[in-house]
Amino acid sequence: MRVSLFITCYNDTLFPETGKAVVHLLERLGHTIDFPPDQTCCGQMHWNTGYHREAIPIIRHFVEVFRDAEAICIPSSSCVAMIREHYHKAAVASGDHAFVAEVEALLPRVYEFSEFLVNKLGVLDVGATYPHRVTYHASCHSLRSLHLGDIPIRLLRKVRGIQLVDLPEIDQCCGFGGTFAIKNADVSSAMLADKARHVLNTGAEVCTAVDNSCLMHVYGSLHRQRTYVRTAHLAEILASQGEPAAAL
């Protein structure tokens, strides 16, 4: 299959290793990767802060860039949720019927990374080896918007050498939530403290998730506490074939 990648703003600017891991893994599974160089943002930040009209040109651009894609794989449940929940509303609001039709044609081809592996490609064992104690944080968008359920955990259970440990209160938010952490700093910090405490109580070496935005937030707390717990996107673990975690 020819897979088109949307690597998202966070991954492109802050966590490029995640995009590299997605490419490495999908090529290892025998797929051809397409990375449209004109891709930009999904428009989530604009939409979530109330700039709906300003988000429409960004959404139009995404649709134009990926119009001919066979399948679009995105290593971020947050961005996929933006596309699934708001692109159609934005197109309708634009009053452009052709735009609405294009969005409707595009949406069934948009997949979050872990659901792409399991629901589209039908694979659970991707041939990964990761000899580390790992806990999984379920992001809000993965749980409540995309309803991924245990898909990421089922993938992790097939990784050789991994010691997967349950994260207490897994359904609780880490407190990031994009601009929520900025607008409600005290509440966000309290939620983050709980999440970091739960991660530390697992004794895990690595905390993983399908959203680097959450992992950035969680790692900030773990790092400030001078712990040795690292964070890694799910794609980095699934792409691994036994390399030291620090090298991923």
Kindly indicate the confidence band of residue 179, based on its pLDDT and cuts at 50, 70 and 90.
confident
Instruction: List every span in the chain annotated with CATH 3.40.50.
Output: 133-239
Determine the Cα–Cα distance for residues 134 and 163; give it in Å rounded to an integer: 6
Q: What's the whole-number average pLDDT of the chain?
A: 94
Rounded average pLDDT over 32-38: 96
Res 29 pLDDT > 80:
yes
Instruction: Provide CATH code, domain 133-239.
Output: 3.40.50
DSSP string, the chain: -EEEE---HHHHHT-HHHHHHHHHHHHHTT-EEE--TT----SHHHHHTT-HHHHHHHHHHHHHHTTT-SEEEES-HHHHHHHHHHHHHHHHHHT-HHHHHHHHHHGGGEEEHHHIIIIIS--S----B--SEEEE---HIIIIIS--TTHHHHHHHTSBT-EEEPPTTTTS--S-TTTHHHHTHHHHHHHHHHHHHHHHHHT-SEEEES-HHHHHHHHHHHHHTT---EEEEHHHHHH-BS--GGG-
> Does pLDDT of 247 surpass 80?
no
Residue with tokens 């609780």: 172
For CA atoms 59, 27, 25, 109, give the dihedral sign: positive
Q: Place 178 in a pLDDT band, splitting at 50, 70 and 90.
A: confident
**pLDDT in the model for residue 10:** 87
pLDDT tens across 141-166, in order? 999 999 999 999 999 999 999 999 99
pLDDT tens-digit series, residues 47-65: 988 999 999 999 999 999 9
**Could you give the CA distance from residue 133 to residue 12 in angstroms, rounded to a whole number?**
27
Structure tokens belonging to residue 4? 């088109």
What CA–CA distance (Å, rounded) separates 44 from 150?
Answer: 25
pLDDT tens-digit series, residues 61-95 = 999 999 999 999 999 999 999 999 999 999 999 99
- The predicted pLDDT at position 244 comes to 55
Q: Quick one: pLDDT at residue 246?
A: 47
- Cβ count within 10 A of residue 129: 13
The Cα–Cα gap between 7 and 16 comes to 9
Mean per-residue pLDDT for 216-230? 95
Mean pLDDT of the region 206-227: 95
Alpha-carbon distance 212 to 119, whole Å?
22
